[in-house]
Every structure is written in C-alpha cells, then in structure tokens.
Amino acid sequence: MAATTLTLPELARRAGISESTARRYAKQFTEFVPAESRGRVRTYSEEAITVMQRIKVLYDQGLGTEEVRQQLESEFQRTIDVEPVAEDGGGQSPEAATGSTSLEAQGIVREFVRYIRRDNERKRQIQLLKKGLRALRDKIQQLEHGQKSLPSSEPEPDPRIDALERRLEELEQRVLDLETREDKPKTFWDRLKRNK
C-alpha cells in the first residue's frame, strides 16, 4: 500500500493553517517538511502535518524563526530530496533506481552539513574572541590613561593592567590557533575524496 501524499492545500487544511502559511512554512523549513517533487508538482507526506502543526505552536509561543528552526532540529529529522539517476543517463526512474544512490547522496549531504556547522562554529568562536580582544584593549587603554592622569610622582603599576595584558596575549594566541588550525582539508571535496 502506497503512502498517502498530500497537496499543499490538503496539507494546510489537515494541519489547521491557511494555505499561504503552509506555503511559507514549507519554504522556510524545507529540510523538516517531508515532501516529494514530481516535475512541478510537490506533494507532502502525512508526517508533514505534524511538522506544520509544531511550527505553528512554536510561533504562537512567540519564538522567532531561528528559535523555531533550533527547536525543530532537536525534535525532527531533516529531510532531503534526492532523485537518483542512472549512471549512463538512460532516464531510469527514481522508483527503479536502487536505494544505495539515495543513501550515498544523503551521506554526502550529512557530511557536508557537519563540515559547514563546524566551520561556522569556528568562525563564531573567532568573532567572539576578537570582540573580547577589542574590549580588553579598550580596558587596558582606559587603565593606562587613568594612571597617566595621576600626579607626576611615580605611580605604582596597576596589577589589573598586567592581568589584562596576559589575558590579551592568551586570547590573541587562541585566535591565531583557531585561524591556522590544519585539522581539516582545504575543501569539503578534498575531505570527501580522503574518506573514500
């Protein structure tokens, strides 16, 4: 027995949302809404009803789009559309193709997503560290300026300046380490070739 598929209007009606809202959710959260494309027609599986209803509840709770996305990541598996094609380009239908092509493509996509996430996380860490470095430099300048404004007798060095300068050096070294880390191949495709 074939799985039931729904058109967008049917999906919207069954999920209890307007068609335009369903269209927006399907577009914004494509990776969580199980769907299949056949030419220009896109149909959705019954699981998409649950996803659509959950998105509505999350928005109703006042969450923003990124927060909704994060919640969906923790609750639902991501889906991808893969239409296997014969090696010789002979027009083999997706139904006739073996599942190995689909599984291989899914594995490649998963690896690519992990790679992008790690790279984005590293970039985020670098940005946070650079922001911290700027704040430390500003604080050191404030303290040094405060010392210079003291009477001309030999002021005693402020131990906070030394501590901040040590922390600044540590953070600069950490940023340098993150930026020059060589634990990954130069490109995603190099890494993919290495794993085969």
Burial of residue 33 (number of CB atoms within 10 Å: 0-12, 13-18, 19+): buried
Specify the pLDDT at position 77.
77
Which one, of 53, 33, 54, lies nearest residue 44 by Cα?
Answer: 33
Number of domains, the chain: 2
pLDDT tens for residues 99-122? 556 667 777 887 888 888 887 888
CA 175 to chain centre: 22
Query: Is 92 inside a domain boundary?
Result: no
- Look up the pTM and report it: 0.42
Strand-pair partners of 37: 42
Say if residues 79 and 106 touch (Cβ distance below 8 Å): no
pLDDT at position 174, please? 78
**What is the predicted pLDDT for the residue at 54?**
94
**How far, rounded to the nearest angstrom, does the alpha carbon of residue 121 sit from its chain's CA centroid?**
9
Whether 61 maps to a domain, the answer reads yes
Domain extent at residue 66: 5-81
Confidence of residue 188 (pLDDT cuts 50, 70, 90): low
Whether 155 is covered by a domain: the verdict is yes
Q: What is the pLDDT of residue 127?
A: 81
User: Would residue 101 count as lying in a domain?
Assistant: no
Does residue 75 share a domain with residue 140? no
Domain final position from 61, 81, 101: 81
Residue 51 has pLDDT above 90, yes or no: yes
Q: What percent of the chain has pLDDT over 90?
A: 23
The CATH number given to whatever domain includes residue 33 is 1.10.1660.10
**Domain for residue 97, yes or no?**
no
Residue 42, in any domain of the structure = yes
Structure tokens at 25: 């959710």
